[in-house]
Structure 1
């Protein structure tokens, strides 16, 4: 039977495990810095982006639920690491690792709380709710904005082309933010002209 002492010990173990997320490096560098950002920073930033663009959403969402999804969605990267979103093979290989990581890490919590957080992670992953679609759009929007404002830093480092960026991001972002995507698309075209982003493969 669960006790307050046991519950708090489990919660403590979980939140201290999250310290490791601060050491998981992503592909983008914070603007004006030479180091790479970590996943914990990314999670914080996209929560604020989600709150900021709410008036532009194409359907109503509960922003508190969106923030919950964004806060938990990358926790399995503690075990699985960050994979370049444009690396299809790497993303497929990471899925099983992320599932195992989610079960392990959320399993540190008291059973009911752990099950709730795992359910949030699954909701984001499957994208079945309006809140999950919103959260997934935000998760894709932030790296695009970073690259557009850093001379295409991670795009250039990884040889990314505009057709890859459009194919990966357009479906998620334009569906939820139809008035914002055209603005992003114009900036992508300008990025190609500047040499910050590769031209489409068939050009």
Structure 2
């Protein structure tokens, strides 16, 4: 006899395959191919594993990895909003909350509640785990843009101050990674791939 919980979990696994089709504006390192949300989430999980020593607070690394793996699943319904979009706020949490409730709601009740709680914690950005997870989320596209001679910064005419303002959340999770970020931004201005 196959359990109802297993059937729900398999249904969820099939549903989240759709994240592989959510294209992001940022391109892969040294590439002209857009990254998708699944690639982004995987990369953040690996970054968290590799860079966890730089977290400014004590963190539960497994919880950070859960956060970065599930934080963009809501984009299956809500879509990906470009962080530098001038017309729509990147923090479309109302649409995303509805998406979280629907998608995570496919899971058995206890697991659904856990995933929604972890997703909400990431969105709130208050716990040490959420701060560090958000640092990873903001650092990865910065690394991609610097590898692509300005990437989406150049493509969409984004200036230094805008990038700096959007990336400063990194300092809440890691002072050392923030210092590195500021150096990358300054170097990008000097190289002419980010306008001041």
After TM superposition, is the score higher than 0.5?
A: yes
Secondary structure, aligned partner of 1:27: strand
Q: Distance in 2 between matches of 1:93 and 1:32?
A: 28
Look up the match of 1:122.
120
Secondary structure, aligned partner of 2:117: helix
Look up the match of 1:24.
22
The structure whose residues are more often strand, as a share, is 2
Q: Is the 8 A contact 2:106 2:112 kept in 1?
A: yes
Deviation of residue 37 (structure 1)? 0.6
Q: Is the 8 A contact 2:44 2:68 kept in 1?
A: yes
1:77/1:186 Cα in 2 relative to 1: closer, same or farther (>3 Å)?
Answer: same
Q: Distance in 2 between matches of 1:130 and 1:156?
A: 33
Deviation digits for residues 58-92 of structure 1 (CA, Å, limit 9, x no counterpart): 11111111101111111100011111112264226
**Number of paired residues?**
196
1:148/1:92 Cα in 2 relative to 1: closer, same or farther (>3 Å)?
Answer: closer
Q: Distance in 1 between matches of 2:91 and 2:31?
A: 31
Secondary structure, aligned partner of 1:91: coil
Look up the match of 1:38.
36
Look up the match of 1:156.
154
Secondary structure, aligned partner of 1:168: helix
Look up the match of 1:84.
82
Secondary structure, aligned partner of 2:129: helix
Deviation of residue 95 (structure 1)? 2.3
Question: Any unmatched runs of 5+ in structure 2?
Answer: none
Moved more, 46-55 or 19-28: 46-55
Secondary structure, aligned partner of 1:13: helix
Question: Any unmatched runs of 5+ in structure 1?
Answer: none
Q: Distance in 1 between matches of 2:2 and 2:58?
A: 38
Task: Answer yes or no: is 1:193 the counterpart of 2:190.
Answer: yes
Secondary structure, aligned partner of 1:26: strand
TM score, norm. by length of structure 1 = 0.90
Look up the match of 1:176.
173
Secondary structure, aligned partner of 2:32: coil
Q: Distance in 1 between matches of 2:160 and 2:90?
A: 22
Q: Is the 8 A contact 2:132 2:172 kept in 1?
A: no
TM score, norm. by length of structure 2 = 0.93
Deviation digits for residues 136-166 of structure 1 (CA, Å, limit 9, x no counterpart): 1111111111111111111111111110111
Deviation of residue 109 (structure 1)? 0.7
Look up the match of 1:141.
139
Deviation of residue 32 (structure 1)? 3.2
Secondary structure, aligned partner of 1:90: coil
